[in-house]
């Protein structure tokens, strides 16, 4: 029987698109579509009102919706509706656990199994739920993508509230980030209680990342063993570089795959990937202050290392 790890996998039928655009500079949605589609305002407004325009996988109907660089705008062949079929219950979205909010940023504790931003296969994402939440206050509100964490990973996920802040951070994200901390439960005992691993990572044709001896992107990973019990280790990981699947690949390369990782480790009894983003500290791009955001470690992690009574 297939082990289903995704609580959010009840996806609607695949959507067919007539156009897919990548945004190169900030602009209002209506002006962007007029330029790209070379059609009348009435036709563009019709697409918007018919729910055929998606931004980062979310349906948008507001003509003055502000786009940011690297947003993805898609035009659906047919109107998109989330109305359930007859006798089919409407799916309830996951509760958004807000862990930080100020005038410039909005952060959630992203649940495991939910994409940060839509993919070609799934449109359900943290972005879409944060967008809906922010627009309860005003339809002109929207989140702006700064960074992402893996679908299987839970924890700190931050969005900007305006394109100016987002653009500055996205341009030099690594220069602004001070701390990226994760906690992982891995199999076995690591070769050292603490260490820094510097290696190169590459991605193959099957989207699998692996450690390369010479070529690839440089990845710097620091780890410290916090606890050990029953052949498992609770490990704190700090990364200087945010490469795709970096922590999962590096720990597996050391011979200690993360529990629940059937992509880089092996199928086991864990119902989720045991990797959680606990801290993200970064400098505000325009103010002299450090933004410090933390997400509490799930009890499923710590309970594995409690002493037997």
Q: pLDDT tens digits for 1-30?
A: 444 444 444 445 567 889 999 999 888 999
Helix count and strand count (H, E) for the chain: 7, 17
Active site members: 150
Quick one: 249 and 269 in the same domain? yes
Using an 8 Å Cβ cutoff, are 246 and 176 in contact? Answer: no
Q: Which pLDDT value is given to residue 80?
A: 84
6 located within any domain? no
102 located within any domain? yes
Residue 278: which of 251, 243, 227, 239 has the closest Cα? 239
Q: Which pLDDT value is given to residue 89?
A: 54
206-242 pLDDT per residue, tens: 889 999 988 899 999 999 999 999 999 999 999 999 9
Q: How many domains does the chain have?
A: 3
Please say if the pLDDT value at position 151 is more than 90: yes
Quick one: 265 and 207 in the same domain? yes
Model confidence, pTM: 0.84
86 located within any domain? no
Q: Which pLDDT value is given to residue 37?
A: 93
Percent of the chain with pLDDT strictly greater than 90: 73
Average the pLDDT over 142-171 and give the result: 94
220 located within any domain? yes
Distance CA 113, CA 259 (A): 15
Using an 8 Å Cβ cutoff, are 175 and 194 in contact? Answer: no
Percent of the chain with pLDDT strictly greater than 70: 91
Q: Which pLDDT value is given to residue 7?
A: 46
Tokens 């510097």, located at residue: 198
Q: Which pLDDT value is given to residue 96?
A: 85
61-74 pLDDT per residue, tens: 999 999 988 899 99
Quick one: 166 and 193 in the same domain? no
Element holding 45 (H helix, E strand): helix 41-49
Q: Where are the beta strands (DSSP E) in the chain?
A: 17-22, 27-28, 53-55, 58-59, 66-67, 72-76, 98-101, 105-110, 144-145, 154-160, 177-187, 194-203, 209-212, 217-229, 232-239, 275-283, 290-294
Quick one: 26 and 136 in the same domain? no
Please say if the pLDDT value at position 204 is more than 60: yes
Q: Which pLDDT value is given to residue 307?
A: 76
Write down the mean pLDDT value for the chain.
Answer: 89
Average the pLDDT over 182-211 and give the result: 95
Quick one: 183 and 301 in the same domain? yes
Quick one: 229 and 141 in the same domain? no
DSSP 209-263: EEEESSSSEEEEEEEEEEEEETTEEEEEEEESS--TTHHHHHHHHTT-PBTT-TT
Q: Alpha helices of 146-232 — where are they, by DSSP H?
A: 163-171, 173-176
251 located within any domain? yes
Give residue 301's pLDDT band: very low, low, confident or very high (50, 70, 90).
very high
Quick one: 55 and 112 in the same domain? no
Quick one: 182 and 270 in the same domain? yes
Among 114, 149, 170, the domain boundary falls at 170
295 located within any domain? yes
CATH number for the domain harbouring residue 42:
3.10.290.10
28-65 pLDDT per residue, tens: 999 999 999 999 999 999 999 999 999 998 899 999 99
Quick one: 254 and 145 in the same domain? no
Element holding 50 (H helix, E strand): none
Tokens 């002299």, located at residue: 288
Using an 8 Å Cβ cutoff, are 227 and 184 in contact? Answer: no
Q: Is the dihedral of CA 159, 160, 166, 172 positive or negative?
A: negative
Q: Which domain holds residue 224?
A: 177-305
Q: Extract long-range pairs of 296-303: CB within 8 Å, 24+ residues apart.
A: 296/109, 297/183, 298/154, 300/272, 300/274, 301/183, 301/185, 301/234, 301/274, 301/276, 302/234
Cα 81–Cα 85–Cα 89 angle in degrees, nearest 5 = 100
The region of weakest confidence among 15-24, 87-96, 102-111, 195-204 is: 87-96
Q: Which pLDDT value is given to residue 298?
A: 95
Quick one: 166 and 225 in the same domain? no
Among 170, 186, 219, the domain boundary falls at 170
273 located within any domain? yes
Please say if the pLDDT value at position 75 is more than 90: yes
Please say if the pLDDT value at position 288 is more than 70: yes
Tokens 């410039």, located at residue: 104
Among 170, 195, 210, the domain boundary falls at 170
Quick one: 71 and 161 in the same domain? no
Distance CA 238, CA 275 (A): 12
Please say if the pLDDT value at position 185 is more than 70: yes
90 located within any domain? no
């Amino acid at each position: 029987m297939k082990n289903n790890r995704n609580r959010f996998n009840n996806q609607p039928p695949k959507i067919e698109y007539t156009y897919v655009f990548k945004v190169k500079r900030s602009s209002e949605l209506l002006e962007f579509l007029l330029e790209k589609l070379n059609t009348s305002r009435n036709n563009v407004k019709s697409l918007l009102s018919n729910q055929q325009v998606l931004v980062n996988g979310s349906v948008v109907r507001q003509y003055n919706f502000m786009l940011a660089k690297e947003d993805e705008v898609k035009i659906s062949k047919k109107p998109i509706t989330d109305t359930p079929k007859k006798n089919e219950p409407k799916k309830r979205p996951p509760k958004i656990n807000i862990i930080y909010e100020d005038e410039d940023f909005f952060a959630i504790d992203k649940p495991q199994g939910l994409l940060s931003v839509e993919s070609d296969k799934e449109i359900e994402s943290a972005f879409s739920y944060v967008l809906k939440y922010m627009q309860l206050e005003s339809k002109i509100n929207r989140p702006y993508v700064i960074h992402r964490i893996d679908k299987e990973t839970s924890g700190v996920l931050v969005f900007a509230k305006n394109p100016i802040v987002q653009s500055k951070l996205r341009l030099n994200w690594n220069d602004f980030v001070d701390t990226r901390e994760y906690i992982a439960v891995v199999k076995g005992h690591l070769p050292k209680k603490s260490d820094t691993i510097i290696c190169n990572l590459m991605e193959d044709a099957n989207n699998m990342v692996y450690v390369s001896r010479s070529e690839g992107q440089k990845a710097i990973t620091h780890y410290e063993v916090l606890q050990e019990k029953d052949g498992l280790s609770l490990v704190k990981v700090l990364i200087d570089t945010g490469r795709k699947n970096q922590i999962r690949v590096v720990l597996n390369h050391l011979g200690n795959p993360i529990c629940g990782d059937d992509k880089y480790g092996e199928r086991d009894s864990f119902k989720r990937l045991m990797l959680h983003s606990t801290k993200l500290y970064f400098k505000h791009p325009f103010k002299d202050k450090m933004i410090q955001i933390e997400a509490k470690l799930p009890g499923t992690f710590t309970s594995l290392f409690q002493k037997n009574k």
